Structure 1
């Protein structure tokens, strides 16, 4: 089969949580797409993109999902799928069963969350606590800087930026 006769895959992005997968198929101006979700694979076929060509892909999933719990969402240029993993638990090492690198598949870092992240979604991280752990704040809980201490530090040491600069022109 020649390169011209093969149907190219659309770009796909993915992210995951312990119980769900986010799969986004990126094909703008797609007319009448076919999306089939099975327990071990996703099939997509549609015409669109800047070249108005047919795109097709079968994604053989790393593990099983629950097709009946799938949420499909068309968002202009993309098709967002939220897939429920059949087994909740550790993160999958990859989306697809095959270990080879797929040129059409990328991680969706806007939705990505590491497995060891314990923050609940929607709750912003406690920045003050993070700064305290990194040594940026004292343990007193007072997040206001003490400017008197900063002034004392500045008065004792001459700053190299305070030196006169040589003239640039003769």
Structure 2
């Protein structure tokens, strides 16, 4: 029986690259990960062998990476060797396989987040100052003792 690639979604974060191999009711799951590539294989609910081999865009820290299996997919968290360096693509090759897609639901442009976070902290501090101004306590004489 021929094997076929599993549909794979990926997204980038400052410390990790996340991959989701979309195979429902998978069995015989194998994830062989080294610093430069991952080989994923399993069988789907119909017994068809799924197989993906991905040579990474850059070096990873395979010892600090994990995978998690659910009923719908297998998610792989791969630690980057160089943190805070954006990956423009998942694969070393500049050719995008048909089975590989960006996970736009989880994708975000995290470069420059430090400035955004600093602005959010400043906005939060201003909000807290306006809220913490104390006045007289509210009158509670209209509350009824009966529950």
Q: How many residues align?
A: 119
Q: Show CA shifts across 1:60-110 (max 9, x none).
A: 100011111112111211111111100113211100011112101011122
Q: After the TM superposition, which parts of structure 1 deviate over 2 Å for at least 4 consecutive aligned residues?
A: none
* Residue 44 (1) aligns with residue 40 (2): yes
Trace 1:42-121 onto structure 2 (pairs within 5 A).
42-49=38-45, 51-116=46-111, 118=113, 119=116
Structure 1: distance between partners of 2:83 and 2:111: 15
Instruction: Report the TM-score, using the length of structure 1 for normalisation.
Output: 0.63
Paired residues of 1:29 and 1:76 also in contact (CA < 8 A) = yes
Instruction: Report the TM-score, using the length of structure 2 for normalisation.
Output: 0.73
> Unaligned stretches of 5+ in structure 1?
130-170
| Greater RCO, CA 8 A, separation 6+ | 2
Shift of residue 115, structure 1, vs aligned partner: 3.0
Paired residues of 1:90 and 1:115 also in contact (CA < 8 A) = no
Measured on the aligned residues, the alpha-carbon RMSD in Å equals 2.1
Larger Rg: 1
